[in-house]
Amino acid sequence: MSGVIGLSRRRFLQVLAGTAGALVVGIGESYADVPIPPAMLGDDFGELGPYVRIDRDGNVLIGARDPDTGTGTATALPRIIAEELDADWTRVSVIPLGLGVQARDGKPVWTYGHQRSGTGDSIPAAWADLRQAGALARWLITQAAARRLGVAADRLRCEAGVVITPDGRRFPYGSLVEAASKIDPPNAPLPLKAPQRYTLVGRPAGDVDARRIVTGQTRYAIDAHYADALVAVLTQCPWADGSLASIETAPALAIKGVVKVVPIRPEADVPPGQTAIAPAVAVLAENTWAALRGLAELKLEWKPAANSAAEDSGKIEAQAIALLDTDSAPTTRVRDDGDLAAAGRKAVRRIEATYVQPWLAHATPEPMNCLVRLDKDQATLVVPTQAPQQAWAVVQRLTGLAPEKIAIEVPRVGGGYGRRLDHDYVAEAVMLAKAVDKPVRLMWTHEQGLAHDFYRSGTVHKIKAIVGRKRQVIAWDQRMASASALTGRGVAADRLWSSEVGANQLPAGLVANYRSDWYGLASAMPRGPFRGEPHVSNAFAVESFIDEIAHTLREDPLTTRLRLLGEARQIPLAGGGMLDIGRLLNVLKLVTDRIEWKNWLHNVNGMGLACWHIDGAYVAHAVEAAMHGDKLEIVRVVCAVDVGRVINPMGLGGQVAGATLDALSNALNPAITFKDGQVQQQGFKDYPLASMAQLPNDVEVILAPNDRAPTGASFLAMPSAAPALANAVFRASAVRVRRLPLMKELLRLL
Amino acid sequence: MPLAQAQGLPPATTGDITPEPVREGIDLTINGERFRHTGDPLMPLLWYLRDVLRLTGTKVGGAHGEGGYDLVLVGGKAVSAIKRPMAELAGARVVTVEGLASADGSLHPLQQAFIDEDAIGCGYCTAGWLIAGIDLLTRKPKPSDDDIDKLPNRCRCGCQTRVRRAIKRAAGASA
């Protein structure tokens, strides 16, 4: 029995009877075959993208469609389904769904809808559609119970995997699923549960993979292997657009176990992220050790291209600072409210500062890797990716296979941070598999990941503010220079700013005369998406600068912020939506209350504040810092977030603490520099992530839940962390850090 | 009595089967099981675990063990598996993350504490933290914050505060 409920124009909720009488509800496409994870069905239902399967023994299997890179979606998404199903969470198992793709007219159709991680939209997308899958399964089970018992369905209630009759009799879901799978679903979407009846959403849940992770059983892509696969390691040209001058392979091939040496070239005219970053030479061998030994024996000479040979991060930065000091026209005027010139005539104080932030690398824990098997009419891959659909596009382009003939498995991912939205390593693995006509497991080293990344561009901000009577900030003139992450990616020139600065970022909308200019820098260094950007770099400049305004006005920085924010109200955002000042004030109050901000002037340690908003979510940090000689101690960190409805408070708390520490770690030590076109950081020693000792012993997380639709939170707690720390450091040391990495600059100025 | 007969097996036919010569190698114990490595003695333990035994719980870290992703216990001490060639491990007792729980499936107190404190982000660095933490708890059953500060592990998901709580919880549990 099969039935459908229209969910969107193309996708449908479907119901089928699974093997052994199981009930299966999922989102399907009505036209074509869908590859289904065998664990989900165990049989041959070919037109279903399954989300939930309930077996006759009462066990529930829920598929998680978005890759989990540590952002908790493998736990949160299934809980959204389980909530509407009224499932017994202790009986629920979760499996990653892998890519859902089928073909229509030769074009790919995405069976599961949204499949992307780390861009902050997993939860909002799931909230919009996954609840229906759970609600439908519960409706069918209730109908089955009603028919069997001769009781009206609306007199039955469901609780933790059991249907309960008015007189208290209990029928486990498992006893009803076979009958339920034969019932036709309704034609319209079902009403959803009232939030006050939630038993899972809003309650804490540990990571569904936790036990497997602490026992070493979780398989990441890097752990996957085929017995007949060759291990591939490679070495890249130090210049992204350089080329191979000479190669001697005999010593490498003489190593026992080495099978082949294969040069790889980036494809011409293919956007960054879809082909190899740089020319490379790969060594393919029977095991990793042989491959690495072969790599060490390769004799290679590379030559730079004219473009990149002179690239120098120091020079780019100096040019950017000089550029912002002139009055040359910006690449894009991102926003221009009011009349800056007129505001200038009312100036009581003028304040100006320049902030410089370095290039950064993703430094993912799990190195870039990809396992690929190419058969005549089928490609099978295991890929650590945040965006399986984009990985699919790379494989499809290189193999020319029909859409449904490319299967991509996405196990749990060892950190993404935006790096795995690009798939150069997938392209490399496919090229190698084609070259050797065997399955290939490609693995980069960590060191190569640092030296060949799609970096976050360095940035320079120059901000000028005018303070009028009554200490009001009446004008804000912000210039930012960076190399756009979107260059070369098919984005129109007048939109390159959009990866670099937000049109709605603070204090836009709060200052009547507000201008934001973006100056695009040219650079041959590859750039790409980076966790939390463009919020993180802009928040550092803006929130530091607000603290500088407070200092100039000789007042409590909280007073300055509250005056700037004004009354609780809604402010329309450019492009739609509202900025809710009340919610921003609330998170600010939560952190200042907790850290006892009223002592800010008299505390022996320094205290600092910052706040931010991202797409309807709000965050504030309060940090207490102390200097012991030239040692910085981060004494306390308090973070409050308002993300609307909270699906899993434990998961969210972990995300908030984690994003806070990641942001602090990125601000404290590391920087990517390049000279003569070559990245100078070759290992973790040169690119230090924070040690335990440098980080605070605790992050005090305050959640401010409410009934609004949930928003993404994976990087919400990043932007305000570093400026709150820098502001605290200023109170603790009297040193204003306007340049990152923070520790290097602090020690220079102390 | 011949061995085969003592075990109730039929007597081995003689003459037509040549027993394989004993293969020279490096004998060691991993998670309580005995193994003999017969390949390149310079192969680091990491690749022996991951490529030969397919024990992939120990993760790939920096070329010199940076990040602590590849830590294992050798003789009860945390060492980087990439820095230990097999030649140095004759007779060694190695424990990897797969070997931390008891045979009956009951977890080490630190494993349980990691679950209870949700001290997991992407999970890639978790094995290394567990090994380093167990090494610490063995040396110092009541570690101070300063002791925990010295752990070599790095984490980009920001689990450090939760790892600290987990280690303290485990120290309390095993008291």
Both A600 and A706 in a single domain? Answer: yes
Both A354 and A381 in a single domain? Answer: no
Residue B35 belongs to some domain of the structure: yes
For the segment A452-458, the average pLDDT, to the nearest whole number, is 97
Residue B110 belongs to some domain of the structure: yes
ipTM for the predicted complex comes to 0.93
Of A389, A420, A443, the domain-final residue: A443
pLDDT digits (tens, 9 = 90+) for A29-44: 433 333 444 444 333 3
Report the distance separating Cα A304 and Cα A311, nearest Å.
11
Residue A450 belongs to some domain of the structure: no
Strand partners, A636: A624
Both A627 and A708 in a single domain? Answer: yes
Q: Which two tokens stand for residue B100?
A: 């931390």
CA distances A492 to A44, A516, A556, Å, are: 46, 19, 44
Largest CA distance in chain A: 84
Report the distance separating Cα A217 and Cα A210, nearest Å.
10
Residue A449 belongs to some domain of the structure: no
Calculate the average pLDDT of chain A: 91
Both A53 and A136 in a single domain? Answer: yes
pLDDT digits (tens, 9 = 90+) for B61-71: 999 999 999 99
Number of domains into which chain A is organized: 3
Shortest distance between the Cα of A459 and any Cα of chain B, in A, equals 22
Residue B39 belongs to some domain of the structure: yes
- Give, to the nearest 10 degrees, the angle between helix A424-436 and helix A388-399: 30
Sheet of strand A378-382, all strands in order from the earlier edge strand to the far edge: A258-264, A280-285, A230-236, A440-443, A369-375, A378-382, A406-409
Look at B50 and A665 and tell me if their CB atoms are within 8 Å. no
pLDDT of the residue at A50? 55
Both A514 and A392 in a single domain? Answer: no
Count of A-B CB contacts under 8 Å: 183
- Residue range(s) defining the domain that contains residue B36: 26-173
Shortest distance between the Cα of B151 and any Cα of chain A, in A, equals 7
Higher pLDDT: A354 or A241? It is A354
For the segment A125-132, the average pLDDT, to the nearest whole number, is 82
pLDDT of the residue at A241? 87
A-chain residues within 8 Å CB-CB of B163?
692
Alpha helices in A507-648 (DSSP H): 535-552, 557-565, 581-594
Both A616 and A710 in a single domain? Answer: yes
Say which amino acid occupies A340. Answer: L
pLDDT of the residue at B138? 97
Strand partners, A481: A460, A519
Residue B15 belongs to some domain of the structure: no
- 10 Å CB burial of residue B107 (0-12, 13-18, 19+) is middle
Residue B32 belongs to some domain of the structure: yes
For the segment A234-257, the average pLDDT, to the nearest whole number, is 95
pLDDT of the residue at A303? 94
Say yes or no to pLDDT of A11 above 60: no
Say yes or no to pLDDT of A532 above 60: yes
Both A318 and A290 in a single domain? Answer: no
Residue A621 belongs to some domain of the structure: yes
Both A430 and A561 in a single domain? Answer: no
A-chain residues within 8 Å CB-CB of B56?
216, 219-220, 222-223
Both A373 and A353 in a single domain? Answer: no
Residue B3 belongs to some domain of the structure: no
Q: Tell me, what DSSP letter sits at residue A672? A: B
- 10 Å CB burial of residue A25 (0-12, 13-18, 19+) is buried
pLDDT band for position A10 (cuts 50, 70, 90): very low
- Residue range(s) defining the domain that contains residue A291: 221-306+368-443
Of A214, A231, A261, the domain-final residue: A214
Both A8 and A35 in a single domain? Answer: yes
Report the distance separating Cα A585 and Cα A383, nearest Å.
42
Q: Domain holding B47: CATH number?
A: 3.10.20.30
Q: Domain holding A742: CATH number?
A: 3.30.365.10
Look at A206 and B100 and tell me if their CB atoms are within 8 Å. no
Both A430 and A354 in a single domain? Answer: no
pLDDT of the residue at A104? 83
A-chain residues within 8 Å CB-CB of B148?
692
For the segment A388-408, the average pLDDT, to the nearest whole number, is 96
Q: Which two tokens stand for residue A577?
A: 């939506």
Both A51 and A97 in a single domain? Answer: yes
pLDDT band for position A222 (cuts 50, 70, 90): very high
CA distances A26 to A49, A51, A387, Å, are: 5, 5, 21
Residue B78 belongs to some domain of the structure: yes
Lowest mean pLDDT: which of A78-87, A353-362, A665-674? A78-87
Number of domains into which chain B is organized: 1
Establish if B28 touches chain A: CB-CB under 8 angstroms. no
Report the distance separating Cα A429 and Cα A423, nearest Å.
10
